[in-house]
Amino acid sequence: MELLIGAVSPYSQKLLSLFYCASGIFIYFLLARHGWEEFWFDYELGRVTEYLSLPYWAWTGTMFVISVILLAYYALRILAVFIKTDAFTHVESNIFED
């Protein structure tokens, strides 16, 4: 993928980056929505794991929190496309020096 992005113009790199971020936001939005619904479902039923008796809502709550963090990450990447910054580059550097 890096070879493809490195071979196109800077404008196309930005478009590919926007597509990448939009795809990530879509996927993690769906995962966050599912995690939120499952969190309340598991919490209200008081579900626990079979062998260790750990609360299952802790897993679904963690899935929701991680999804929200990744949504914020992709939103920042979209801002970095429009605002000139070196925080997120479109092409990673894979140069090894001696």
At residue 92 the predicted structure's pLDDT band, cuts being 50, 70 and 90, is: low
Domain boundaries, the chain: 14-82
d(CA 34, CA 8): 37
3-state secondary structure of 55: strand
At residue 24 the predicted structure's pLDDT band, cuts being 50, 70 and 90, is: very high
pLDDT at 97 over 90: no
Q: Which residue has the tokens 């995690």?
A: 35
**Would you say the C-alpha torsion 51, 57, 60, 61 has a positive or negative sign?**
negative
Name which residue leads in pLDDT, 16 or 86. 16
Amino acid at 21: C
Alpha helix locations (H) across the chain? Answer: 2-7, 10-45, 56-82
Q: Are 25 and 70 in contact (CB under 8 A)?
A: no
Cβ neighbours for 54, distance < 8 A, ≥ 6 positions apart: 48
Q: Could you report the per-residue pLDDT of 9-19, keeping only the tens digit for each? A: 878 888 888 89
- Lowest-confidence segment of 8-12, 81-85, 88-92 by average pLDDT: 88-92
Query: Per-residue pLDDT averaged across 26-54, rounded?
Result: 90
